A and B are shown apart, each in its own frame.
Chain A
């Protein structure tokens, strides 16, 4: 099994606040890696470090390495737009653009100049299919994306992310704004997507991590306390802190 991403001794700072401390994490290719931990422990910050979305926040800095296929994404010659093409992201709150369903999915291929016309139609259909949404909405591609329900909106965002054929998909608590039925659909979708994509998901829901992921990392105050195969981490945690957190005694 290959490591798609290798994080090595990674530190992250919001101005002087040391948010991530010496993280070393392997992200396996075509596996689902879940990150759990109490809120404020740096899960989102870490996730946003993997596609350099933190660059958009002023005053931040990072040290250490994040190797994507062996190449450090923080190297000076890296083009962040290329990087984000390869490492897509789905946010906590569904954030479709206030445009048509079609335009939302077509956004990525259009800005990257990958496709237009008929080829673009095909990509849109494939991506919506891939996000399990095609059947529900194929007759209303011209409708506003905001007319979809939250669950559909989140799957639309997933379709929008996979339309540029990324290699990695980052998901930051993608189900926290969804009801249980919509959550289940997104979780099923993740299992399907993991056949093709490397997925990193942040969740505060330990059952969700246990249900969907292959590997789990447990964060605490900016540090990685424990990392391992999900079944192992939940059945025989090595650290006392992990055990007390997953059994609900902490956090």
Chain B
């Protein structure tokens, strides 16, 4: 402003007009953004309302003891959700137990240990794994994995374990690539600080890098679990779809189960709209919604407290 004021000194009026134009433009953009944000909230709200309208009657019309009972015989009008809940739980927990350690180790290898050329080959491959349609993995589970498991001694190859493995592979790319990003975001200064004291590479990773990347890793795991819980088709193909609670024994994961998602997908086509069975399937949807919501807010809580501490620390 000091050097070239003589060149393009705008008249006060022109400046004001220009200012107003910017002001209006900004007003429009601001409100468009607000609209987009509000519509997301609105859509989620509407979905939930719809779920409650369609699924709500199930919770009112079916006696609670039956609803949380262990028998799911929709044809006889008995709607016990427990076998489906247990089925989902076993498959999901199984998937998490397999996928989280494997994913973390993989991310640590990629982010901290692998030489650059390996990382450049492996990262795109892993992202490609994320792009495989779940039905293809289900197919693989059916054709390859199930016979293997049956040969290993299970009564059938279509078991909770088979589903867990397929789900684990489905959530692995998410877990790996997001945790690797989290590790990557850890400043080099922390690693240097640890190494300069005489920590080994492993001590540096375990005691400094992983804790520093914790919030990102939690998000990675939660997103991975989210993918596992919501997955339907592949699981339907390989878990055997038996809606009964597997006998509690050491082989509990080697028995067929049926998940909540698979139940909705399998039975939705054949119910009469408005029937109790129909309402109950939506009721299952509500249960799924609540579970996912709980996981997400748990993740938010874990990440949130840490975030607060970090900003508090900055002062």
Contact = CB atoms under 8 A, between A and B. Distances in A.
B187 to A, nearest CB: 8
B18 interface: no
B190 interface: yes
A164 B310 CA distance: 28
Nearest to A160: B197
B309 interface: yes
Given A111-B207, A144-B313, A93 B195 contact: no
A189 interface: no
A25 B10 CA distance: 64
Given A81-B200, A99-B211, A107-B207, A144 B309 contact: yes
Interface string A60-102: 0000000000000000000011111100110101011111000
A56 interface: yes
A53 interface: yes
Interface residues of A, number: 31
B199 A81 contact: yes
Contacts of A82: 198
A210 interface: no
Interface in B186-204: 187, 189-200, 203
B208 interface: yes
Dominant secondary structure of chain A at its interface with chain B: helix
Nearest to A51: B196
Nearest to B199: A111
Contacts of B199: 81, 107-108, 111
B189 A91 contact: yes
A232 interface: no
17 contacts: A56-B191, A56-B192, A80-B198, A82-B198, A84-B196, A88-B197, A95-B187, A95-B190, A95-B193, A97-B211, A97-B212, A98-B190, A107-B194, A108-B198, A111-B194, A111-B197, A146-B310
Closest 6 A-B residue pairs measured CB to CB?
A: A146-B313, A85-B198, A95-B189, A84-B198, A89-B196, A108-B197
Given A84-B196, A111-B200, A144-B313, 18 more contacts: A58-B116, A80-B198, A81-B198, A84-B197, A88-B196, A91-B196, A95-B190, A97-B193, A97-B208, A97-B211, A97-B212, A98-B190, A98-B310, A107-B207, A111-B197, A111-B203, A111-B207, A160-B193
Interface of B: 116, 187, 189-200, 203, 207-208, 211-212, 309-310, 312-315
Interface of A: 51, 53, 56, 58, 80-85, 88-89, 91, 93, 95-99, 107-108, 110-112, 144, 146-147, 157, 160-161, 164
